[in-house]
Amino acid sequence: MQTETGNGLSQAGTHDPAENSGFETMVRIEHDLSDVIDALALLGVKRCSECKQFFRSADPGALFENGHTVCYRCIPDWWSASSQRLGVAERERLEAKLASWLRKHHRAEVVKETPGKVLDTSNVDFQIVARCAECAGSGKLMEGERCRFCNGFGTVRIVVPK
Ligand SMILES: [Zn+2]
Ligand SMILES: [Zn+2]
């Protein structure tokens, strides 16, 4: 049986000393790189886990940090992927943190779901659907009446303007 390699050169398998030292060099570089990233964190520079860009952590609106370090631009994609992966309790915890971070640093507004009304998204950067904090997602207030903060839907939209 013949094996073809992409560049036409024969490969000597895993016992090639050059290849081993190449691997060791790479491990060392990775190690050095993670040391450098730790050092940068000390200087107040952190890296987005999604796009790998560096941001100043002194800017509180640049990175969302809660066990994850995600820059503002990466949030929509990151959130839609992780909200499906997380368990309910963890998702709700993170969702509440994310919603308050977006409100605090990106002028996000809580918008009620209104039956029959389509939200105008022309001035919206992105939005996430979050559990209504007033009724804890039940859609009802203590007296059993419909929650006026979410119109009884149990969820609200956190809308980030452009
Ligand atoms: Zn990013
Ligand atoms: Zn509610």
2 C-alpha to center of ligand 1: Å? 44
Instruction: Copy the structure tokens of residue 155.
Output: 């969820």
Whole-prediction pTM value? Answer: 0.75
pLDDT, averaged in runs of 10, over the chain (162 residues): 50 60 91 90 91 92 93 95 91 93 95 81 90 92 90 94 92
End-to-end CA gap in the chain: 60
pLDDT recorded at residue 48: 95
Quick one: three-class SS letters along the chain?
Answer: CCCCCCCCCCCCHHHCHHHHHHHHHHHHHHHHHHHHHHHHHHCCEEECCCCCCEEECCCCCCEEECCCEEEHHHHHHHHHHHHHHCCHHHHHHHHHHHHHHHHHHHCCEEEECCCCCCCCCCCEEEEEEEECCCCCCCCECCCCCECCCCCCCCEEEEEEEC
> Two tokens at 124?
């919206």
Q: Report how far ligand 2's centroid is from the alpha carbon of 152 (Å).
A: 6
Task: Tell me which ligand sits closest to the C-alpha of residue 74.
Answer: 1
Please tell me the predicted confidence (pLDDT) of residue 115.
79
Owner of token pair 């060099």: 25
Q: How many angstroms separate the alpha carbon of residue 67 from the centre of ligand 1?
A: 15
Ligand with the closest atom to the CA of 136? 2
* pLDDT at site 79: 95
Distance (Å, whole) CA 39 – CA 33: 10
What is the Cα–Cα distance from 84 to 70, expressed in whole angstroms?
A: 17
Q: Which ligand is located closest to the Cα atom of residue 132?
A: 2
CB atoms within 10 A of CB 106: 16
**Centroid of ligand 2 to alpha carbon of 110 (angstroms):** 11
pLDDT at residue 40, as a whole number: 87
pLDDT at 14: 55
Question: How many angstroms does the Cα of residue 156 sit away from the middle of ligand 2?
Answer: 8
Nearest CA among 126, 124, 149 for reference residue 138: 149
**How far is the centre of ligand 2, averaged over its atoms, from the C-alpha of 41 (Å)?**
39
Given this model, what pLDDT does residue 102 score? Answer: 96
How far away, in angstroms, is 78 Cα from ligand 1 center? 9
